[in-house]
Amino acid sequence: MDRKRLLVVLLAAVAAGIVALMVRAAVFGKHAEEKPVASAVDSSEILVAAQRIEPGKTVGAAQVRWQAWPVKVIDPSFIRRPGSATPASMVEGMVARAPMVEGEPVTYAKIVKTQSSGYLAATLGDGMRALAVPVKLENIAGGFLVPNNRVDVIDTHMGTMMGRSHAIPAVLAQNVRVLAIDQSSDGSQQKTVSAVRTVTLELTPDQAQVVSQARNEGDISLAIRPLGDNGDETAPRSKKGGDSSGAVTVIRYGRMRKLSGDGSVQ
């Protein structure tokens, strides 16, 4: 009798253990199923700066990249990826109008095409001015001048020196950057060849004033400087406006001063 009772107790204990395990599995399994699963964020790729971009600089493939961005916070001004387009294809022929830091979304308000009306303002250096000057083809190295060349601006006009009439040259400004020729800022060829080209120069305010006056009074020539030559921007002595007394006009940093023959300032 004792053995039967012991066997019953053991079977009851085993059954109770099995039931406990089943209940536990059911409870924890239910909790696992009910555990919230983070839903995937709906995103889309937009164009962002891959590095710091300075205003006036050409925006190339290395400066931009595609980046996933939550759709809910994508501003209409952001540039979204159309199909399988590459970053380079979205910024071809563009320059920066405003500074951008790495990871910042790129917008069309911050970049501009080189052929658009806002290009010159975007590429001008701080405090500089853009001035268009009509120049004869033979006075710009036979037409071999291209945008971003550096030039010296020379004015030649008729004047009197030592009692005689002479063609007097004067260097108005040195190491000046060429922004555009006619309406081209990328060096593309013009459809028509004109004897006079309109060259847009980057000048200081003082230089712009002097060159503007000279273009109405004389004949402007542009002397191309070697690539990489960013030497002294100070104009040397010029004999513009010389007279019988031997006085000459010195144009330095765009400012005119008349010196007498003995070197004193008049």
Q: What is the pLDDT along the chain (266 residues), one digit of tens a residue?
A: 566 666 666 766 667 777 677 777 776 665 555 555 555 779 999 999 999 998 878 898 899 999 999 999 999 999 999 988 999 899 888 888 888 999 999 998 888 887 666 677 777 888 899 999 988 887 777 667 888 889 999 988 777 767 777 777 889 999 998 888 876 655 555 555 567 888 999 999 999 999 998 888 778 889 988 876 665 554 443 434 444 444 444 444 444 444 444 444 44
**Beta-carbon neighbour count of residue 98 at 10 Å?**
15
Report whether 106 contacts 75 (CB < 8 A): no
Find the largest Cα–Cα distance for the chain: 151
Looking at the chain, the domain(s) classified CATH 3.90.1210.10 span 43-121
Residues with Cβ < 8 Å from 100, sequence gap 6 or more? 49, 52, 53, 106, 110
Q: What is the CATH code for 43-121?
A: 3.90.1210.10
Q: Where are the beta strands (DSSP E) in 62-163?
A: 64-70, 94-96, 111-113, 129-136, 150-161
- Residue 25: in which H helix or E strand, if any? helix 2-34
What's the CA gap between 234 and 201, in Å, rounded? 16
CA atoms within 13 A on the CB side of 144: 6
Structure tokens given for 215 = 């273009």
Tokens of residue 206, six digits: 């003082």
pTM score above 0.75: no
**Can you tell me whether residue 244 is helix, strand or coil?**
coil
